[in-house]
Structure 1
Amino acid sequence: MIHFKAIWRIMGGLLILIGVLMLPAVTISWIYQENSLPILISATISLFIGLFLFFFIEKQDELIRKREGYLIVTLSWVFMTGFGMLPFILSKEITSFSDALFETVSGLTTTGASILTDIEAMPKGLLFWRSMTQWVGGLGIIVLTVAIFPLLGIGGIELYVAESPGPTSDKVHPRISETAKRLWYVYVGLTLAAAVLYWVGGMTLYDAINHALTTLATGGFSTKNASMAYYDSAFIQYTAIIFMFLAGTNFTMIYFGLMGKFGRVIKNDEFKAYLIGVLVISLVIFFPIYMKSDAGAELAFRKAAFQVVSLMTTTGFVSDDYTQYGQGVTFICFMLLFLGASAGSTAGGIKFIRHATFLKNTWLEFKRIVHPRAIVPLIINGERVTGRIINNIMNFLLIYLITFVIGSLVISLMGYDFETSLGAVATSLGNVGPAIGNVGPVDNFAFFSPAAKVVLSFIMLLGRLELFTILILFTPFFWRAN
């Protein structure tokens, strides 16, 4: 039997938090003398319903089990979406339900795809809430990674947990709260640092805060129609590159680095693969950009590094149109949509740890074929990876591929061309933002039909919640009583 009362109380606490987080956007509206009533009403509704669920539903003492955990994770994003879209609808800046749904899901999942055709015409208070949805989503995924995903056994994330100072399945309290607190400090600290540097670099304080929120969330929402291309500043763009890279790094590794434990960082297999991947791919696309444009070496490298880091970390900021440099660069950028950065970061996508585990296990499989009686263990970060985790990762990769294929088929059957369908589904599933076709770096998603926007919104949620979390709810055995 599922303990729904405990779930509703948690949803109540979540809505209280959402209501409180809307209040800064109300303040921004007051400062810029805009109509703050839509956001204020939205905050009031969230707080009222949240307080009712939290205080008027009888508290239960039963432990939260795996089934409740899956429901809590999924319903959290559903509730955040439902109440997070209220400011857009009540302000009548986004009148269509499918548009408001898409924009809110894109924000909370830190995808960064948008249906807005003129961002700079939007009220500043509403844009601030739009940025805040990404910051909340980025923080939320870190908490899920540390506190909940390991208990549910989702996506081989135990590989991250083994390297973190956080909980394990048999030792949960009090380490969850301590770990979450440490990562909260890192997340907030990096956000503040990014905001200061953006401001020093020439952004207005308002723009600096907005871009800092969406940079550390690896979200990519901007207050400018041209995204980061609006700022023709090497300082601002290099600042973005650095903080996007940090946001795509396992936050526990950042914590270890801040504590002076550099050995832990250097020995981490995923971080090494992530760093080498960024450098190598940046150099690969540097040459065609340098040869096919009149940019000097520094500008060509900056363009290459910016796009690689932005796509690999699933941030989705744009500083240039990478599709103008030929099919080779476009293809590489498309493939980056499937990489993802580090587990334990705010990035979406498949994650480097899964790729590393898959490739290393495949290589060792050749050795096992030649020496069938030999015991050839898979070692990641100095630890032996169990068969259950390997199987989990293989299943994840297979389901990810199947979801991409089915999603692309569905979108193409709705009347969109093959390239656009592939790009839209790949970027939604990976929570990236820009892609290829008619959803390239200088395009948006406004032209999709309401049905297509709903499908893509669902795909964004699937990708952000590691597939299994949502898909398991559609299985009959999940709902059977124990």
Structure 2
Amino acid sequence: MNKYVIFYIIGWILNIEAAFMLLPSICAIIYKEKSVFAFLITIVICLFIGIPLSLRKPKNRVFFAKEGFLIVALAWIVISIMGALPFYISGQIPSYVDALFEIISGFTTTGSSILTDIEAMDYCMLFWRSFAHWIGGMGVLVFLLAIFPMTDGESIHIMRAESPGPSVEKIVPKMRTTAILLYKIYLGMTLLQIVLLLLGGMPLFDALTITFGTAGTGGFAIKNTSIIPYTRYQQAVVTIFMFLFGVNFNIYYLILLRKFKESLKNEELKWYITIVTSAIILISLNIGGIKGFFKSIHHAAFQVSSIITTTGYATVDFNYWPTFSKVILVILMFIGACAGSTGGGIKVSRIVILLKSVRHEISYLTQKRSVKILRINGKKISNETARSVNLYFVAYMFIFTVSLLIISLDNHDFTTSFTAVASTLNNIGPGLEAIGPMGNFSNFSNLSKFVMMFDMLAGRLEIFPVLLPISLGISKIKSHKLTLPR
């Protein structure tokens, strides 16, 4: 294993995080908040560790899949440990465990919060937790690839480990150029949403933080009542952009190339639109008697877009919706957005592959002579992709079950415990009952919070990069046991 290149990249990650912290520091200066010192101290710590690591250029910069997965896992753990420091040092979140939970929820674009009074936080802290969504949405390592020269053979391992979905495709031949294009699209859509919200009369600070949460599909709000206080127009803008950020970014590249027919033929996009439309219609009909027809469509569209893209904003407390509508929202939690988007969940493409695999197996059992090939977008699904999807699903269900068992020790009601795991593992944010859109995660034990922190990281990094360090640790322990003298 090339340890030197791992330390080298981690060093650069810390330097980048220090640079990102300059923005909330400026925010603190603008609003004359004393919390600025917490960011300045953290910046110094990041640079104190990061600069020496990044100055030692490794002679051998070649690494493979194992190092790529390990780099991604360690990078997200390190930026979370450092990112929690401003909350803790400033005293805005007195418990470091809670501060770590909050920032992991931010970076993984989950949006689950331990805060009981969000509006009591300083502006710079609210900015940092929302900005963490924007950083984590596209991925800090994808940002590193965009600014840092690296061969395609190396960068593809990082891209595959950090990017959501069953497979990662290059938009253009060079991976670094792909990363730059992705960030250009990401930044362009972010700026467009900010402008539209400002045109709707939203204050600049609100427009920035809400857009960060929308772009990263994170959902940290700056109001205790989420998006409820804002106008119908502003909510509609957020609805549209939540949906758009849940689409595979490759589709936007095709649109920029004016390949409209090719983009519209994308099978995952068709499924995504169908699922969203169906859910909106069903929920609108179900809650129509409560809200009125047009209000029902508005709130159903917002919540469906929010949940399937794993954003987590809310315009209503859907805890009070009929059971049928809540069940639909829970199902959407698991489905998630498209591969190659900033959304979480299992992903629409994986669901499609699993359903096609079931249909293929039934066809094989009933018509053994016929040989059918699994295809998506007219292309054959490789055995490797089908295998990885099946293994992902098995690992997903195992982590979900174990997490639910541990969290149930807190003796919350079943719905709260079940949706707590669903919301953190799928990077949603709110669940139902005690952790609904107007609730929070503060009443869980530290053990449960650590389990949910693991789930948030596992969900954002597609499970396997997080399991690799654990697997390597177990292997080392076993090897040490074997060499112990009798």
Shorter-normalised TM range = over 0.9
In structure 2, runs of 5+ residues without a counterpart are 146-154, 480-486
Q: 1:193 to 1:404 in 2, by over 3 A?
A: same
Amino acid in the other structure paired with 1:165: I
**Separation in structure 2 between the aligned mates of residue 392 and residue 156 of structure 1, nearest angstrom:** 11
* C-alpha deviation, 1:471, in angstroms: 1.3
Matches for 1:21-420 after TM superposition, within 5 Å = 21-35=20-34, 36-55=36-55, 57-140=56-139, 143=142, 147-148=156-157, 157-158=166-167, 160-161=168-169, 164-166=170-172, 175-231=174-230, 233-291=231-289, 293=290, 295-420=291-416
2:442 aligned partner: 446
Cα 1:152–1:198 change in 2 (3 A) is closer
Gaps of 5+ in 1: 168-174
Q: Distance in 2 between matches of 1:196 and 1:418?
A: 42
SS of 2:227's equivalent?
Answer: helix
Q: Which amino acid aligns with 1:129?
A: W
Structure 1 residue 479: Cα displacement: 5.5
Cα distance between partner residues in 2 of 1:479 and 1:155: 27
Q: What is the TM-score with the length of structure 2 in the denominator?
A: 0.92
3-state DSSP of counterpart to 1:228: coil
1:141·1:346 contact (CA, 8 Å) conserved in 2?
A: no
Deviations 1:111-158 (A, max 9, x none): 000011111111101111111111110120793999436656998722
Residue 115 of structure 1 contacts residue 446 of structure 1 at CA under 8 Å; is this kept in 2?
yes
Indicate the SS of the match to 1:337.
helix
User: Among the aligned pairs, what percent are the same residue?
Assistant: 38
Residue identity in the other structure for 2:11: G
Distance 1:121 1:350, change over 3 A: same
State the shift of 1:415 in Å: 2.5
**Equivalent AA in structure 1 for residue 192 of structure 2:** A
Task: Write the distance in 2 (CA, Å) between the matches of 1:47 and 1:153.
Answer: 24
| Structure 1 letter corresponding to 2:157 | I
Deviation at 1:475, TM superposition (A): 2.5
User: 1:175-227: per-residue Cα shift (whole Å, max 9, x none)?
Assistant: 11111111110001111111111111121101101111110000001111111
Once the two structures are overlaid, the 10-residue window that deviates more, 436-445 or 209-218, is 436-445
- TM-score, normalising length from structure 1? 0.92
Which amino acid counterpart does residue 148 of structure 1 have in structure 2? H
Q: 1:471 aligns with which of 464, 467, 470?
A: 467
RMSD: 2.1
- Equivalent residues of 1:155, 1:468 under 8 A apart: no
Counterparts of 2:134 and 2:472 in 1: how far apart (Å)?
A: 35
Determine if contact 1:110/1:315 at 8 Å carries over to the other structure: yes
Greater Cα offset, 5-14 or 362-371: 362-371
1:87-119: CA deviation from partner (whole Å, max 9, x where unpaired): 101111011011001001000000000011111
Amino acid at match of 1:46: C
My pick for the range that moved more, 192-201 or 102-111, is 192-201
Of 467-476 and 449-458, more deviation after overlay is shown by 467-476
Distance 1:125 1:477, change over 3 A: closer
Distance 1:477 1:121 in 2: 41
* Separation in structure 2 between the aligned mates of residue 83 and residue 151 of structure 1, nearest angstrom: 24
Asked whether the equivalents of residues 108 and 134 of structure 1 are also in contact (C-alpha less than 8 Å), the reply is yes
SS at structure 1 position matched to 2:370: coil
Q: Distance in 2 between matches of 1:395 and 1:114?
A: 30
Distance 2:159 2:4 in 1: 23
Misfit runs of 4+, over 4 Å: 149-156, 476-481
* CA pair 392-249 structure 1, distance change in 2 beyond 3 A: same
Which letter does structure 2 place at the counterpart of 1:459?
D
CA contact (8 A) 1:19 1:43 kept: yes
